[in-house]
Amino acid sequence: MTHRQTADEPCVPTHRLSLRFSSTRRGARLARRLAVQQLTEWTGLPHDCDAAHAVALVTDELAANAVAHGSLPGRDFRLTLLLPPEPVVRLEVTDTRPERLPRHPAAVPTPPDAVSGRGLFLVAVYARRWGCEVRDAFTKTVWAEVARPS
């Protein structure tokens, strides 16, 4: 699935949590910690398992992108966690810049000596699939589905 396509079928979660965070580095850090904590509470998985590490990394990258590229002054970003019946956890980060769509990591290669620009490449590696949806004129949602043990 390419990064701008939506999922074929709607996600029907068994668990759902949605919270807003300040568009700051602290907000991104809190979102990452909450995502891992919620995953472990919902599934009983340990904090140091592969799925928790993947959720932490993907949440961190999506939240950091929302803060760096998707925020307007005074506007928060929203993190939504969904636990569908399938063995994945779906992470959604909604920000206030629908005109700034993420570029596929292969579209613009990052120079080897660059200190940033690899976040979506990491998301693509750790997520089973990911994408971006513009649902209205004011927001966009970047989502990723990370595998978890069934």
10 found inside a domain: no
The answer to whether residues 97 and 18 touch, using CB atoms and an 8 Å cutoff, is no
Distances (CA, A) of 88 to 14, 59, 82, 127: 11, 14, 9, 9
The answer to whether residues 119 and 98 touch, using CB atoms and an 8 Å cutoff, is no
Where does 5-150 have alpha helices with state H?
25-43, 50-69, 119-126
3 found inside a domain: no
51 vs 112: which has the higher pLDDT = 51
Q: What is the 8-class DSSP label of residue 74?
A: T
Would the pLDDT of 6 be above 60?
Answer: no
Residue-wise pLDDT tens digits, 82-93: 999 999 999 999
Instruction: Identify any residues that bridge with 93 across adjacent strands, giving them in sequence order.
Output: 79, 142
Q: Which two tokens stand for residue 63?
A: 């939240």
Segments forming the whole domain that contains residue 95: 15-108+115-147
Q: Total structural domains in the chain?
A: 1
pTM: 0.85
20 found inside a domain: yes
Residue-wise pLDDT tens digits, 57-70: 999 999 999 998 88
56 found inside a domain: yes
How many C-alpha atoms does 11 have within 13 Å on its Cβ side? 21
In CATH, what number is assigned to the domain containing residue 127? 3.30.565.10
8 found inside a domain: no
